[in-house]
Structure 1
Amino acid sequence: MDDDSIKKRKESQNGSTSPSIVSHTKDEKPVKATVLQKDVGLVSGICLIVGTMIGSGIFISPKSVLLYSGAVGPCLLIWAACGVLATLGALCYAELGTMITKSGGEYSYLMEAYGPIPAYLFSWTTVMVLKPSSFAIITLSFAKYASTPFYPDCTPPEVVSKCLAAAAILVIVTVNSLSVKLASYVQNFFTAAKLLIILIIVVAGIVLLAQGNTENLTNAFDGTAQSFGAIGLAFYNGLWAYDGWNQLNFITEELINPYRNLPLAIIIGIPLVGVCYVMVNVAYFTVMTTNELLLSPAVAVTFGDRVLHPMSWIVPLFVVFSTFGSANGSCFTAGRLAYVSGREGHMVKILSYISLKRYTPAPALIFNGLLAIIYIMPADINTLINYFSFAQWMFYGMTALCLIVMRFTKKELHRPVKVPIVIPVLMVLVSCYLVLAPIIDKPQLEYLYCTIFIFGGLLLYYPFVHLKVNWARKIMRPITMHLQLLMEVVPPEKTE
């Protein structure tokens, strides 16, 4: 970059920024301001929601819902009800996202409604544990199915799966760091691939139903679980499969026409996933009894072996595509949360810097990828996610409560989308139940450890964020400078 360009960048960082996204000089071509660009359209938004929600779960183990519901009928009803709940939650987020058009999802809404401390605790928990560990789990699932064909007679060695998962993380982080449009194209392709295999399974199921394979769907409510707690756990597992319905709110600043495209993508994407989940489960029940489904290690693979032979190999192939697409969507949104947290001063500043050439939050993406690789190393990180999942629903409930609080405290804010107040009230109640149900059902010390970790973040908040101790800033300044030069990143410019 020449001296004039460097000077212009420095002036913009000192506050003399043009109010438009694109600045012009007399003899130069238009230069984009160093902010996240609006490159995500409606189709890409729908693909991000659908592609992140549909991971490996619907293909591998929908049996948890069946196990706790006890029969086919309530199992299908619970899948449908979970879709309705996810849609209601997403509608609350649509109002919040069009009212507060900042990236970062829950972080921005908690900041606006409650102030910095709840927002900090959310970013601390999500950036450090929930997002990277979820990224790690998805890529491990990808690695398992990608390596299985090379080990036909045995389970792939753990070191192979972990190395392949780490390689997938590196590829996904690189793609997302290079270009928002490239990451969107990757997401669109893999979402189309997973919808194709779902279409194949659903059509095969409809053909089997038409041929009279309805034995497993008769007397569908015999054996229904009578325990309120068991039904609650069935809902818990179903909603886990729908997790990802809030992903678009993490990238609101990059969404073209968010007032239109955010609610539209939600209204199209989430019901589409709900219909897919119910129809795929119906297809499974056309060829498997409840006992066979519960014993199957990978339900879609069993379905493929029985129905699609000799083309049954396409099922594990498309599971690989599905998990890779889900991991890409997870990385895309996780980077934006770390970026916004850094911009607000709740994480180190380097995380809020943007690539000067690519206009992507490269440091935040790389940080999330490094943490994910670290989480791959332990023997079983699924346990970690299971114990932290109650925290996720705690933040969902607090975010839904934001909507109710701001109806009274922020009446002046423009609300292009306004949902009936009963919807956020219902989401708060459901969230409270889902937070308390696993703890009451099986109280374990691990939940206490997770709670200590969450609130332990305050030990860092008080000295480094609230007091802004000088010695910490002196240590970080040269590190930030060297990383900035190495990665060619700059602070985001302020635009009006």
Structure 2
Amino acid sequence: MDEDIGKKKNSCNGDVSSGTVSQPQQGDGEVKAAMLRKDVGLFSGICLIVGTMIGSGIFISPKAVLATTGAVGPCLCVWAACGVLATLGALCYAELGTMITKSGGEYPYLMEGFGPIIAYLYSWTTIMVLKPSSFAIIALSFAEYAGTPFYPGCIPPLVVIKCLAAASILLITIVNCISVKLASYVQNIFTAAKLFIILVIILAGIVLLAQGKTKNLTNTFDGASTSFGNIGLAFYNGLWAYDGWNQLNFITEELKNPYRNLPLAIIIGIPLVTICYILVNVAYFTVMTPTELLQSPAVAVTFGDRVLYPVSWVVPLFVVFSTFGAANGSCFTAGRLTYVAGREGHMVKILSYISLKRCTPAPAVMFNGFLTILYIMPADINTLINYFSFAQWVFYGLTVLVLIVMRFTRKEWNRPVKVPIIIAVLVFLVSCYLVLAPIVDKPEVEYLYCTIFIFSGMIFYFPFVHCKLSWTRKIMRPITMHLQLLMEVVPPEKIE
């Protein structure tokens, strides 16, 4: 870097030089770069899990789960089984998270267990597709519910939905760039809001059951589907509603006392969500037949119109709050994965830099927000869910396999949380089923596209990551320098 550029000062009185910003000297003469702070406590951790899991899924997935199972009984069984599976998977992740206390979700575990290539393919797929598509799905759900009151009797125009989704993405991205504490406060507030509306639906359902509204809950297994692939798709859609059970593993470095708070938040948060989901589905069936539920454009809104009139407007309002909170949680964790991948050299370095003033991974958060806006343009929610679930469960299975492998290869490592190996084996086998069942039963081209995209990352890995070609560094160095000056960000590593 040119010497005159290296002497430029930023507003925090630090020197920008060679991709770093100097900080005040410590007592031992060492200079430290900005680091992410441990601002997430137990309550905020529970709110992150619950707030991310309870989003659009419980208001979208009931129709898809019922359609693929064919009857009320197996539908409720799938919801319960998905909760059990999410809990078992989260316990496996709790062992990995307390053994390898690094942020980034599956990324550091795959790096340690299988090496940089598998970890890179995970980061490539998740950062470029899975995280932004998940954020996009939730934002589109938020926009659909937010726009419905302004278009009574019809679905809001697609352009309105997408504009509202884009606006929510921009707002959430800004909040997460400004402050970790602010993002946590937003998460806590909207988690309380969504638990309120869930409680309202559950209590209404209990009252209706007490009044004898049990017709749709008799002979619940009549007409049930026995298709191998349909059951897998039912789990896909059910597990989409439970997605978020691994969110704390993305922010381990920002979690206060992770050895205690990580497993405790999991044990409290996920069973709470499971109970809520089962009771909400029972409430839906007290007022809607399976056919009516499948025909409903918005299940929760239909429920509110039939049960809570004349205050039925409260349901779509709080569903909007719920989806907004889930989108915030998705953005919060996605930025951490991008940040860690940049720190390890698997993404461009600027994505690993931290805001000097605010101690947030602002470049990573903004990059994720940009990709999400791209995804809402051609988005179809059902296609995105299937695409998301197939690829995601490939990596869930590989991550649990890491735990199994490290029981034999890393016996000496400290494990503050240690789950029975049979649980890890069970979760791995279920992951294999969820990946293979829909492909075997009904092969579709989207699965091939997904597989091709995952391995297409190797095109970039060998020249840019493995070989580290010098000409790429010459191109990226001035770009990184100017972006660093523009955003006032610094690298997270210690500088001697």
Deviations 1:146-187 (A, max 9, x none): 122222244322222212111111110000000000000000
Query: What is the letter of the counterpart of residue 409 of structure 1?
Result: T
Partner residue, 1:252: 252
Cα shift at 1:12: 12
Write the distance in 2 (CA, Å) between the matches of 1:79 and 1:366. 34
- Percent identity, aligned pairs only, is 78
| Alignment map for 1:287-302 (pairs within 5 Å) | 287-302=287-302
> Would you say the 8 A contact 2:22–2:33 is kept in 1?
no
In 2 relative to 1, CA 25–403 (structure 1 residues): closer, same or farther, beyond 3 Å?
closer
1:213 is displaced (CA, Å) by 1.4
Would the aligned equivalents of 1:187 and 1:325 in 2 still touch at CA under 8 Å?
yes
Q: 1:265 aligns to what SS in structure 2?
A: helix
State the match for 1:346 in structure 2. 346
For structure 2, the 5+ residue unaligned runs are 1-8
The DSSP-based 3-state class of the residue aligned with 1:443 is coil
In structure 2, what is the equivalent of residue 6 of structure 1? 14
1:205 maps to amino acid: G
What's the offset of the Cα at 1:220?
2.4
Contact 2:229 2:442 in 1 (8 A): no
| Unaligned 5+ runs, structure 1 | none
Residues in 1 aligned to 2:167 and 2:445: alpha-carbon distance in whole angstroms: 34
Residue identity in the other structure for 1:232: G
The residue that corresponds to 1:242 in the other structure is 242
Q: What is the aligned partner in structure 1 of residue 3 from structure 2?
A: none
Partner of 2:118: 118
Equivalences for residues 47-446 of structure 1 within 5 A: 47-378=47-378, 380=380, 382-446=382-446
Query: Which piece of structure 1 moves more, 69-78 or 349-358?
Result: 69-78
For residue 381 of structure 1, report the CA deviation from its aligned partner: 6.1
In the comparison of the two structures, how many residue pairs are matched?
A: 487
Counterpart position of 2:43: 43
- CA–CA distance in structure 2, aligned partners of residues 209 and 436 of structure 1: 39
In structure 2, distance between residues paired with 1:224 and 1:131: 33
Is contact 1:11–1:17 with CA below 8 Å preserved after alignment?
A: no
CA offsets 1:46-84 (integer angstroms, 9 cap, x no match): 111111111112123402222222322222122111100
Aligned AA (2:187): Q
Which residue identity lines up with residue 260 of structure 1 in the other structure?
A: R
CA-to-partner distance for each residue in 1:406-464, whole Å, 9 max, x for gaps? 11111121100000000110111001111111111221222222211111111110010
Conserved? CA contact 1:216–1:285, under 8 Å: yes
Deviates more, 1:375-384 or 1:171-180: 375-384
Q: CA deviation at 1:296?
A: 1.5
- In structure 2, do the counterparts of structure 1 residues 282 and 379 end up closer, same or farther at CA, with 3 Å as the change threshold? closer
Q: 1:483 to 1:10 in 2, by over 3 A?
A: closer
CA distance in 2, matches of 1:285, 1:213: 9
CA contact (8 A) 2:232 2:438 kept: no
Asked whether the equivalents of residues 10 and 488 of structure 2 are also in contact (C-alpha less than 8 Å), the reply is: no
Could you say which residue in structure 1 is the equivalent of 2:457? 457
The residue type paired with residue 466 of structure 1 is: H
| Contact preservation (8 Å) 2:56, 2:241 | no
Letter in 2 for 1:353: Y
Partners of 1:405 and 1:476 in 2: CA distance: 38
State the match for 1:494 in structure 2.
494
TM-score by length of 2: 0.93
Could you say if the C-alpha distance between residues 297 and 224 of structure 1 is closer, same or farther in structure 2, counting changes exceeding 3 Å? same
Please give the per-residue CA displacement for 1:201-222, whole angstroms capped at 9, x wherever unaligned. Answer: 0011111111121222222233
Q: Would you say the 8 A contact 1:388–1:447 is kept in 2?
A: no
Instruction: Indicate conservation of the 8 Å contact 1:17/1:494, yes or no.
Output: no
Shift in Å, 1:5: 4.8
Separation of aligned partners in 1, 2:103 and 2:353: 14
